Amino acid sequence: MQADIDQVLIDRQAIARRVDELARQIVADLEPDLSRGEADLTLVPILTGSIIFVADLIRHMPLRMRISVMSITSYPGKATSSRGASVEAALTRLPESLAGHHVLLIDDILDSGNTLRLARQIVTERQPDSFRTCVLLRKKRDAAMATPCDYVAFDIPDQFVVGYGLDFDDLYRNLPEICTLRQEVAAGATENGRC
């Protein structure tokens, strides 16, 4: 697995520091909403890429919370560019109504913005008391920078990355760092006609 890595963009210490810092900021912002009334906090992680980020983030968030996952796919298999976002309905566990919930939506990376837009639509249709969005990474490209997002852990160059939950063909999610893949590894997909 390590042999397929080109560069480490963000190492594990930098991730840990920033996740802790971001969690504190989110908690400080949410606390006034939560103390105001009866509404609960519901986290909506987008599967599968956000799992490691969410696992680390919530352990720095000492708040009463529910977790309701949602599955949205846009980079199927060996694709390294978006194929348009679509929801796997069977894996949407959101309650019919989100009235009485403050929602924090969490994704791994903001790229074209399609995933966040679709997720925003699905959640806001259910009328939560408040709605915030958080991503681990945002690519420095116009479409991503123009997509509203409340919390961004890191802005990165417009490159395809893996690790810390992010995959290529469902591999590399368990890398503790955020990395780029060697050209030959990512290019292999094109030769197979799968990219």
Residues that bind Mg ion (CB under 5 A): 49
Query: Quick one: tokens of 28?
Result: 């400080």
The reply to whether 75 sits near ligand 5GP by the rule CB under 6 A is yes
Residue nearest to Mg ion (CB): 49
The DSSP 8-state label assigned to residue 78 in this structure reads T
Q: Minimal distance in Å, beta carbon 115 to ligand 5GP?
A: 3
Using CB under 6 A, which of 34, 106, 113, 119 touches ligand 5GP? 113
Supply 189's token pair: 């997909």
Given a contact cutoff of 8 angstroms between Cβ atoms, the answer to whether 18 and 26 are in contact is no
CA distance 185 to 195: 12
| Closer residue to Mg ion (CB): 34 or 69 | 69
Question: Widest CA span of the chain, in angstroms?
Answer: 56
Regarding 74 and contact with ligand 5GP (CB under 6 A), the answer is: yes
Q: Which is nearer to ligand 5GP, 131 or 168 (CB)?
A: 168
According to the binding rule CB under 6 A, does residue 82 interact with ligand 5GP?
A: yes
CB of 181 to Mg ion, least distance (A): 17
* Residue 42 near residue 103 (C-beta atoms within 8 A): yes
Give 113 or 128: the residue with its C-beta nearer to ligand 5GP.
113
Count, residues near ligand 5GP per rule CB under 6 A = 20
CB atoms near residue 12 (< 10 Å): 14
φ, ψ of residue 2 to 5 degrees: the values are -60, -30
User: Is the preceding omega at residue 80 within 30 degrees of 0, hence cis?
Assistant: no
CB of 129 to Mg ion, least distance (A): 26
How far apart are alpha carbons 63 and 45 in whole angstroms?
A: 16
Calpha distance 79→189 (Å, rounded): 7
Residues 151-190 that bind ligand 5GP (CB under 6 A): 160-162, 166-168
Q: Nearer to ligand 5GP by C-beta: 75 or 131?
A: 75
Check residue 92 for interaction with ligand 5GP (CB under 6 A). Answer: no
Annotated active-site positions, please?
Answer: 111
Which residues in this chain contact ligand 5GP in the complex, by CB under 6 A?
A: 49, 74-75, 82, 85, 107-115, 160-162, 166-168
